[in-house]
Amino acid sequence: MKSSAPLSGLRVVEFLGLGPSPFGCMLLADLGAEILTLRRPGSEIPALVRNRSTMEVDLKDPDSIRFVHNAIGSADVLVEGFRPGVMERLGLGPDDLAAVNNRLIYARMTGWGQTGPLAFTAGHDINYIALTGALHSATRAGSVPMPPANLLGDFGGGAMYLVTAILAAVFERDRTGTGSVLDIGILDGTNYLTSMLHEYRATGRWSDEPGTNRLDTGAPYYDVYPCADGKFVAVGALEDPFFDVLLEVLGLEPELALGRHDPQAWPALRDRIAAAVATRTRDEWADLAGHTDACLTPVLSLAEAPHHPHVAARGILVAEDGDAWTPRLPIGYSDAAKPVDDILRLWGKGTAGP
């Protein structure tokens, strides 16, 4: 039976930042970790700080620094997202805190990483994924690269890499008895996500010319098409049996499957698929293809997604007030965030009050 809080008992001190760090700590909290979230006095609370309580701490105040040292003495993990050197100047660097807690896993979440020529410069998701080749791969022929919001760098290459590294370090500490320092860069994590593309390129199965590959809208059977109502469907019929079903659903002749893997045939095949899709609305195609292996699905907005029958059946989105929805984890979810004073009492550190 799955635990609703598989990380119960894991203690994390989070220095609140933006983007990947809050998302990573949200994931840890949703899985049951106890998180003490520290933020600057008067600062606004950004997105992704659900399911945990925050407290203001002035890191320029000696008493506050002593409080932080004291709390970290009982923690398993520290997560910070400042530029390299900031924590050291505050007296909260890895060497400083190793003397306080040698079992501490010190996770440093940045865009560029702690070293390298760009380590001290500013950047955002779009900049990090640009240097990895990942942004270039999201390009249609004759068009410009299209950033996938900040999902790829901040959350895929950043937060997920952060959580994976933390959990691996916890496992390692259980064997060695000592903590570690983790240098987590969005650049590094995103680069790792391109592993398959690098392998394909090395074996001649991926071209750097945009929109010419099977998975970058080069192939007409892996693309998005407009429907009669101006909405869209996504087609992903890569394998031959699925493409055969797609042709049947679209009402196209089976002979179109012959030679479909030849890029020379792709423009004509694309025209035939586009013309067929344009004859019906998005939802009509969704009804026709929904229970087949055509690999044709409607492209839904964020507002529409929770109402799709399969999304609803999985229970991965929970309704909040009005049209607001909160994603849930299917591997266990804890929504019992403890108040700061309760966390400190459990950690044996008194309360946050004077």
Span 212-247, pLDDT tens digits? 999 999 999 999 999 999 999 999 999 999 999 999
2-14 per-position pLDDT tens digit: 457 899 999 999 9
- Segments of 97-161 assigned E as strands: 105-110
pLDDT bracket for residue 201 (50, 70, 90):
very high
C-alpha distances in angstroms, 135 versus 117, 123, 124, 126, 197?
A: 21, 15, 13, 8, 12
pTM value is 0.93
Phi, psi of 143 (to 5 degrees): -125, -170
SS3 262: coil
Report the catalytic residues.
124, 154
Q: Tens of pLDDT along 34-43?
A: 999 999 999 9
Q: Alpha-carbon distance 121 to 127, whole Å?
A: 11
